[in-house]
Amino acid sequence: MANKKNAQASETALENAVKKIVQTLSDKERRQDQIIPLTREIIRDCALGIKAVHAGDLKETERKIDEIEGKLVKLHSLDEKLENVSQQCYQEYAEIKCLHAILTREPIPTYEEIGINLIPWLSGLADCVGELRRAVQLALSEGDAKKAKYYFEKMNAIYDNLMVIKFSSSLVGGLKHKQDVIRGQIEQARSEMLRSA
């Protein structure tokens, strides 16, 4: 009789554990269903903001950043324990914030200052180098060597700072690959600047 009661108690505990898991996963799925379209909107807005940066329309860029930040407030309320779903949009946000700061000659904001985790910030900062290379090319095409030099110096500063981060990809995601890409972008920009001199 005692064995039967123990077996029933064990089955009840198992059923309760599974019910709790189903409830937890159902909640995560519901939030994920809200997060995914929101992250897509934010990523599109970041792309439009970066496009505005390169077009020289800083007012539009700032308008987009304000719009993105409003959407990030909603995202923060949804993505607790689901940050992996929204990491790409935080990375894009870091990229536009860092790029905007550089182009307006302000200090690059830290991950704490923009309210995101350090890994998407590092990735966004690394991606910013590609946009700076594009800014170098635009400045050179306009004959503005001084502006091109400024952007190139910022590319180097980002590279020098990111290169001290030497950890496994299990800790820093795809940063190692991005570091390699940055190295190539800097060499290409250096060649372009030498050719234009």
Q: Please give the pLDDT value at position 3.
A: 66
130 and 78 part of one domain? no
Domain assignment present for residue 101? The answer is no
| Residue 63 maps to a domain | yes
- In whole angstroms, what is the distance from residue 177 CA to residue 71 CA? 29
| Domain count within the chain | 2
Please give the C-alpha separations between residue 144 and each of 111, 117, 133, 196, in angstroms, as whole numbers.
31, 36, 14, 10
Residues 76 and 121 in one domain: no
Cα 114 versus chain centre, distance: 11
**pLDDT in the model for residue 82:** 80
107 is a domain residue: no
Q: Considering the domain boundaries, does residue 158 fall inside one?
A: yes
Q: Which pLDDT score is estimated for 81?
A: 78
Same domain, 131 and 177: yes
pLDDT at 84: 82
* Buried-state track 121-142, b at ≥16 Cβ within 10 A, e below 16: bbbbbbbbbbbbbbbbbbbbee
Residue 138 structure tokens: 């635009």
Last residue of a domain, one of 29, 57, 82: 82
The pLDDT, as a whole number, for residue 85 is 85
For residue 173, being part of any structural domain is answered with: yes
75 and 3 within one domain: yes
For 87, the token pair is 């990491």
**pLDDT confidence of residue 13:** 84
Query: How far, in Å, CA of 70 to CA of 39, rounded?
Result: 12
146 vs 50: CA distance, rounded Å: 22
What are the b/e assignments for 161-176, b being 16+ CB within 10 Å? ebeeeeeeeeebbebe
Residues of the chain where predicted confidence (pLDDT) is lower than 50: none
Do the domain assignments include residue 95? no
Residue 92 covered by a domain: no
Range of the domain at 165: 117-197
**CA–CA dist 43, 26 (Å, integer):** 26
Both 146 and 191 in a single domain? yes
Q: Is the entire prediction scored with pTM above 0.95?
A: no
Give a yes or no: residue 47 inside a domain: yes
Residue position matching structure tokens 């923009």 = 114
CATH code of 154's domain: 1.20.58.2140
